[in-house]
Structure 1
């Protein structure tokens, strides 16, 4: 270790200790400080680890948490970035938390921002890349889905021997030939039936001949058992398959992966994909399927903003991050199946971390919600006027609708909503702001950590 790296690591660790001892924590600043002192410090910090990079548009944080959980069936030394701080400074900060004197194989499971994959791969050589999906998201940062994938590929090309563990139901991950060994996972739980995705779905053109893709099975958006009727392009063979959905509620899903039944204590079809990815990674690292399924079925710990259940006075509040059209739409499809009465709050911000363009809220099918049996709806956040207009267009009646731009007023209003259960859908910085308020008032511990 060079003197420069040693100074950088000491400074980073010291700042981490101070922030967590005397403040509400902090994941980015220690890494940012260490990088300022030594831009290559990550190479030193990560040199003894087998590294798994988890990236894609939706599901990175939960996939990372579930992967760590499944791997713990076999491995004890797993470093990760659970707060979702997934750029180079946050990942560097995660390595600064590593305990000294760890014995045995050391794994690092890292949620990584798509655009940061090539940045990270300048300093580390991953053993595996996990690709969840690519949907239209924060176009001011990423551009179209093909631009986003090109950013990821730029990083993968720096590690040609690393194994790619990819969502085989996403056509984009089969669109370019790479030298890396590749394992695919996906859904195979429906009888084959000729169908097409809705016309406004992204990523429906065959990468070989530009013909519109057809499907024999489809889960949502452009995911499914696709094929091109004009050429040979089709979904690759799946190594890991979800073959049956046994039961689903807004709070859980029971399903079968490669003959193993898993009960995931978080709802949504999209989260089954996250569990399937985690199962695939664990199998790649030698975890027995039964052990992996058992770990995934254990009651999940809270995951920052991902269907996190918080007690707010007498209310049970389910906090759900929404950030792009496909993710929003899947959340709406999930909560509309709730058979118990519930109220709804939607908090919209448009800061850099959220994406400054809010037009994506018009692609979410709010119209599908059963507003006739949702007695109270609240629009909040810095762009509350935008989401209020969207909800009015979707059919919310004025006698059960409120607008509260201030977060203190949002919390006060939620406490008086007429149902015991409240869903709060919020963009990334709105989640951060709300959790900070809840932490300061003693409803939860810490801010992001």
Structure 2
């Protein structure tokens, strides 16, 4: 470690201590200060770690959390970035938090969620053992552009660590669309019999990347994910190394399924989260974690920020779901539709930089499906409340049945007055932050994150 490395780390650790001691926060700022003092500091901070990176448009946070719990069963000296600070300064802050001047002989592991566009900045200094590609769906068009632009960012980031193994979702055609300098293995679903179908017309990424004809599928799990093939040129899904072969139970709160002949359960609902568990399982096996240890890891995992997070307000049970793009929202809608009890629905729409300033994505989501659910009250809120109000009216919700509550503080009051015990909240990223801050102010939760 150079003198410059050591000085930057010392300043960063001191900054972090001050922020957490006196202001109870500051997850990325220490990393920003440290990086300004020494742009190469991440290499020095991470050099003693075996690193796994998780990236993709959807599922990063939960996949990271599950993988952390899986690897923790065998490698107790493990760190992660649970607050979602997934850009360069947040990654530096994570290593700063756990940096010690005392050496030990234990194997040190880091499992890191990394923003797709930030991957290239992280792998410039960190050389991971594996990089998980969860999926690529249309997300934050103002920032990323189309899905192929996002995927190129991921490929470019992985290429800076050519020895890293790419562990990717084999059911996503885009991940088989181009050669990479990295070796690749694939995980995916094999739980349905072969049939013959095509994806819905309003689905991205369904053209064959080789000949540009429409892809066909033996089965589809959701969106454009499934056992795809091109009848025109022979392009098809690659061989899967890790396979989910049976879904034994799936409801709005949990799932039981079989991977490589072994049964597993996660205490979070939705088919999309089985993919996240499959990704975590894949990394576990690469790190020689046994199926029994993986089961224990899955059972140890807790619901994380905005991912079916349950918050109790008096006698109400609030389930908070982060939504940010059409595919993710559709999967959340499919999940809450499985709730057997009547519930109230709250949709909070913001359009800040962290959410994506373009809210046109709400028009590609299947809000029409809510008219068939057992919903007793629908409330709209957020800085773009008029946009979501109009969208739900077009979806078939009568204007007189929509409760409009723009302010977050007033929204808490509306929760208490809801006609049902259960309330499902759909909120964009900054809306979740604002909601949690107000809940903390009213002493329903600790802290704002």
Return the offset for 1:300.
3.1
SS of structure 2 residue aligned to 1:216: strand
Q: Which runs of 5+ in 2 are unaligned?
A: none
Q: 2:253 maps to what in 1? A: 251
| Equivalent pair of 1:5/1:41 in contact (CA under 8 Å) | yes
| Equivalent pair of 1:348/1:426 in contact (CA under 8 Å) | yes
1:284 to 279, 286, 289: 286
Q: Does 1:183 align with 2:185?
A: yes
| Equivalent pair of 2:140/2:355 in contact (CA under 8 Å) | yes
2:106 to 104, 108, 119: 104
CA distance in 1, matches of 2:160, 2:187: 23
Greater CA drift, 287-296 or 273-282: 287-296
| Equivalent pair of 2:128/2:164 in contact (CA under 8 Å) | yes
Q: 2:88 maps to what in 1? A: 88
Q: 1:309 maps to what in 2? A: 310
SS of structure 2 residue aligned to 1:82: coil
TM-score by length of 2: 0.97
How many residues end up aligned between the 2 structures? 447
- C-alpha deviations, 1:188-232, integer Å up to 9, x for none? 000000110011210111111111110001100110000010112
- C-alpha deviations, 1:222-253, integer Å up to 9, x for none? 10000010112110111111101101110111
Greater CA drift, 188-197 or 392-401: 392-401
Q: 1:71 maps to what in 2? A: 71
C-alpha RMSD of the superposition: 1.3
| Equivalent pair of 1:306/1:321 in contact (CA under 8 Å) | yes
- C-alpha deviations, 1:348-384, integer Å up to 9, x for none? 0001110000011111111111467311111111101
Q: 1:233 maps to what in 2? A: 235
CA distance in 1, matches of 2:372, 2:105: 55
CA distance in 1, matches of 2:228, 2:424: 34
Q: 1:269 maps to what in 2? A: 271
Q: 2:430 maps to what in 1? A: 429
Q: 2:333 maps to what in 1? A: 332
* Superposition map of 1:281-430 within 5 A: 281-296=283-298, 298-370=299-371, 373-430=374-431
CA distance in 2, matches of 1:259, 1:19: 48
CA distance in 2, matches of 1:334, 1:69: 24
* Superposition map of 1:157-176 within 5 A: 157-176=159-178
CA distance in 1, matches of 2:448, 2:11: 23
SS of structure 1 residue aligned to 2:62: helix
1:143 to 124, 129, 145: 145
SS of structure 1 residue aligned to 2:154: helix
Return the offset for 1:389.
0.8
| Equivalent pair of 2:54/2:113 in contact (CA under 8 Å) | yes
CA 1:434 to 1:24, structure 2 compared with 1: closer, same or farther past 3 Å? farther
Return the offset for 1:148.
0.5
CA distance in 2, matches of 1:373, 1:276: 31
2:204 to 164, 179, 202: 202
| Equivalent pair of 2:13/2:96 in contact (CA under 8 Å) | yes
CA distance in 1, matches of 2:183, 2:373: 51
SS of structure 1 residue aligned to 2:111: strand
TM-score by length of 1: 0.97
CA distance in 1, matches of 2:30, 2:279: 30
Q: Which runs of 5+ in 1 are unaligned?
A: none
Q: 1:220 maps to what in 2? A: 222
Return the offset for 1:19.
2.2
CA distance in 2, matches of 1:383, 1:321: 16
CA 1:338 to 1:301, structure 2 compared with 1: closer, same or farther past 3 Å? same
| Equivalent pair of 2:341/2:374 in contact (CA under 8 Å) | no
Q: 1:43 maps to what in 2? A: 43
SS of structure 2 residue aligned to 1:218: strand
Q: 2:444 maps to what in 1? A: 443
- C-alpha deviations, 1:297-331, integer Å up to 9, x for none? x1532301111001112111000000001001111
CA distance in 2, matches of 1:283, 1:309: 31
SS of structure 1 residue aligned to 2:346: strand
SS of structure 1 residue aligned to 2:106: coil
Q: 2:53 maps to what in 1? A: 53
| Equivalent pair of 2:69/2:300 in contact (CA under 8 Å) | no
